[in-house]
Homo-oligomer: A and B are copies of this chain.
Amino acid sequence: MQGLAEHEKLADRVKITQKDLEQDGFSKNPFFHSIIAEVPEYHKTKEGHTKIGYALYFYSYSSWKGRAIYMEDLYVMPEFRGKGIGKALMRKVAQVTGPGCRLNFTILNWNKSSLDFYPNQGCFDVKADLGYHYMICEGEVLQHVAQP
């Protein structure tokens, strides 16, 4: 999370603690769910990390379209990018989402690689349409993303 915030040039915004995360994500009714990307020991980073990426999501709801999943974070450490790990994480989230359910997320304005990548996958920016700034992935596009 700290890595993602640094990438977003907003590291000082992270106020959450490990205790908050343990409490909120690993209780009986968790506030969020997460998927972790892990590499074998022999690929670990020079700092010794084997957990090198993650996606964090929660269930949300649209009063027009019903059930949705909001993907809050998708992050891969810089040295592991370009290997399809981000795509694999997103695929897992799309698999949870299921048919008829939307997958929403937000992109920072200046994040050019994301602004190129997601529309290429078929996701669309609601902003262009309605004045919001949400990215939406649904229907066939979502099924496509979910495919192993």
Contact = CB atoms under 8 A, between A and B. Distances in A.
Interface of A: 1, 4-5, 10, 13-16, 20, 24, 29, 31-32, 56, 58-67, 70, 72-73, 106, 108-110, 127, 130-134
Given A60-B60, A61-B24, A127-B133, A66 B16 contact: yes
A133 B127 CA distance: 9
Q: How many copies, total?
A: 2
A13 B61 CA distance: 15
Contacts of A134: 106, 133
12 contacts: A4-B63, A5-B64, A10-B130, A13-B65, A14-B63, A15-B66, A16-B64, A20-B66, A31-B59, A62-B72, A63-B72, A133-B133
A29 B58 CA distance: 13
